[in-house]
């Protein structure tokens, strides 16, 4: 069964040994190929308290099953429920474990009802892995309370089937939830996506609920063999790829993550190094073996017959019969590194399903506006990130790297750390270097797929043809916090001409 998050994350997050043990058993349940178990999420509404924690929410044969796990002993004394820890201490519960599960189930139903998901069958189950038998009480079916003897993957699958068979039937004249929509909404409610500092591989902010687009993609990846994920810069393609790679490894598959841009190795390695996932740059695939699943980032860089043949050679079942995920931005980043053959792209598109990431989770509204105005490029709806305006700096002569350093020093004077600043030359393709002041000098080719807190763009590409426009696009979409663009007077005129061309083409 697919676990969200992965078992490794649950093992790290869970405080309860009972929850960890139950997660391990769920992972080995395989009788429903579409089943997903979501772990420990605070529900936003609850009939008794501000938040309720659903230990596990399992989507099983179209039924939502909410599970409350109580490790240790569970007793009812004089009408009051208690848990008993390993030291024999009793801890009073506000209500019975079954009522906790039912309350969480109704809270989840209310949340999804608010989102217009429609009616769906739901059941509540209690798991007490450390007691021999459920307490004697009325108010629940025997199948809905699992004890020690049920703690095998086979028994859990049998119980889940029994619970699903007894689920309530849909009332008449009710709008029913579509199962695909229900899966996506559950992925959205329960998936947490961290905000990552791509330079240092560190988590900048606490994990946030997945966007609707990210949830839709993760749900599609869980159910389909071959998937193309389309998204502009800043929509979170690489981050979703990391989560997808974790899920694939969780299912016991051999996993390869590959990419053209050499700098992406530094992004993926810290997040996947503890997992049985191979991170191999595309140019090194000649030494790779075969894998059950291949995930390709920035796939627009490898959309040629030769490149697809190489991917075919490392994939069990080949490209037409194997399991792959390709993440790409073909409209805006297809000319910065590698090659993009539209005929090859059309052929690959016929081999898998397509899903879109359409919400920008990196760039500020001002940056998105700049990209749309000057390049006519779609980088998603700027609905999440709010920040300062784009800063334009005009020089009397050609822009140089020294001009970029001057702006970077002003940022440092305002409290910005030097290692949070990139200076990008859109006309260059050189690998990154670091100045004596600690600023990173880089090019679109090596910045693609990554991001920085503050970006200083030095001038324009030599030509604003398709390759030059793509390089400028990459440069201005790397910033998370502030973007400074240095242009000469001649550059200004060239940009105005570019806007006129875009307007005339509409």
pTM given for the model:
0.70
Q: What is the pLDDT of residues 438-497, one digit of tens each?
A: 999 999 989 888 888 899 999 999 888 888 888 888 898 888 888 999 999 998 888 888
Q: DSSP assignment of 393-453, as one string?
A: EEESS---HHHHHHHHHHHHHTT--GGGEEEE-TT--PPPEE-TTSPEEE-HHHHTT--EE
CB 43 within 8 A of CB 104: yes
Structure tokens at 224: 């389909």
Q: What is the pLDDT of residues 294-317, one digit of tens each?
A: 999 999 988 999 999 999 999 999
CB 285 within 8 A of CB 312: no
CA distance 272 to 242: 7
> Pick from 305, 490, 311: which is nearest to 399 by CA?
490
Structure tokens at 283: 């140019």
Name the 3-class secondary structure at 129: coil
Q: What is the pLDDT of residues 28-71, one digit of tens each?
A: 998 888 899 998 765 554 444 434 567 899 999 989 999 999 88
Burial class of residue 153, CB neighbours in 10 A (0-12, 13-18, 19+): middle
CA distance 437 to 36: 50
Query: Chain centroid to CA 492: how far?
Result: 38
Q: If you count them, how many residues does the chain have?
A: 506
Low-confidence ranges of the chain (pLDDT < 70): 41-53, 137-139, 192-209, 287-288, 331-338, 360-365, 368, 370-388, 502-506
CB 233 within 8 A of CB 474: yes
> Which residues lie below 8 Å from residue 126, measured CB to CB, with a gap of 6+?
67, 68, 69, 70, 97, 98, 101, 134, 140, 144, 145, 146
Say whether the peptide bond before residue 18 is cis (omega within 30 degrees of 0): no
Determine the pLDDT at residue 263: 78
Structure tokens at 381: 């709806």
Determine the pLDDT at residue 177: 87
């Amino acid at each position: 069964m697919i676990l969200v998050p992965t078992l490794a994350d649950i093992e790290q997050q869970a405080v309860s040994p009972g929850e960890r043990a139950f997660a391990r058993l769920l992972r080995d349940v395989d009788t429903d190929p579409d089943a997903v178990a979501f772990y420990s999420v605070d529900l936003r509404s609850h009939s008794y308290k501000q938040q309720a924690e659903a230990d596990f929410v399992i989507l099983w044969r179209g039924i939502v099953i909410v599970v409350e796990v109580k490790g240790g002993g569970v007793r009812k004394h004089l009408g009051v429920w208690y848990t008993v820890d390993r030291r024999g201490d009793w801890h009073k519960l506000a209500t019975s474990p079954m009522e906790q599960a039912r309350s969480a189930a109704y809270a989840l139903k209310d949340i999804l009802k608010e989102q217009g998901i429609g009616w769906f069958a739901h059941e509540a189950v209690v798991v007490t892995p450390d007691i021999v038998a459920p307490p004697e009480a009325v108010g629940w079916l025997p199948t809905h309370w699992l004890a020690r003897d049920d703690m095998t993957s086979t028994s859990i699958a049998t119980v889940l089937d029994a619970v699903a068979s007894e689920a309530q039937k849909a009332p008449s004249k009710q709008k029913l939830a579509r199962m695909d929509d229900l899966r996506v909404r559950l992925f959205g409610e329960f998936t947490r996506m961290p905000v990552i500092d791509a330079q240092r591989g560190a988590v900048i902010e606490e994990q946030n609920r997945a966007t609707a687009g990210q949830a839709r993609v993760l749900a599609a990846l869980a159910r389909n063999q071959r998937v193309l994920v389309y998204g502009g810069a800043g929509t979170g393609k690489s981050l979703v790829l990391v989560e997808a790679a974790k899920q694939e490894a969780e299912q016991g598959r051999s996993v390869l993550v590959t990419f053209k841009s050499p700098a992406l190795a530094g992004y993926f390695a810290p997040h996947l190094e503890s997992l049985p996932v191979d991170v191999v740059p595309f140019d090194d695939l000649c030494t790779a073996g075969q894998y059950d699943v291949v995930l390709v980032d920035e796939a627009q860089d490898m959309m040629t017959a030769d490149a697809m043949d190489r991917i075919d050679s490392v994939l069990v079942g080949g490209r037409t019969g194997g399991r792959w995920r390709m993440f790409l931005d073909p409209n805006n980043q297809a000319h910065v590194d590698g090659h993009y053959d539209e005929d090859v792209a059309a052929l690959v598109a016929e081999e898998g399903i397509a899903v879109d990431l359409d919400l920008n989770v990196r760039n500020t509204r001002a940056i998105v506006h700049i990209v749309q105005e000057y390049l006519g490029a779609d980088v998603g709806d700027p609905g999440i990130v709010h920040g300062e305006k784009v800063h334009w700096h005009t020089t009397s002569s050609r822009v140089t790297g020294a001009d970029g350093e001057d702006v970077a020093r002003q940022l440092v004077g305002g409290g910005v750390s030097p290692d949070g600043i990139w200076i990008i030359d859109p006309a260059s393709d050189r690998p990154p270097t670091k100045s004596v002041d600690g600023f990173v000098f880089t090019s679109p080719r090596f910045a693609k797929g990554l991001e920085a807190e503050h970006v200083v763009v030095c001038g324009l590409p030599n030509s604003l043809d398709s390759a030059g426009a793509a390089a400028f696009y990459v440069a201005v979409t790397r910033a998370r916090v502030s973007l400074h663009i240095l242009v000469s007077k001649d550059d200004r005129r060239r940009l105005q001409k570019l806007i006129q061309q875009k307007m005339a083409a509409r």
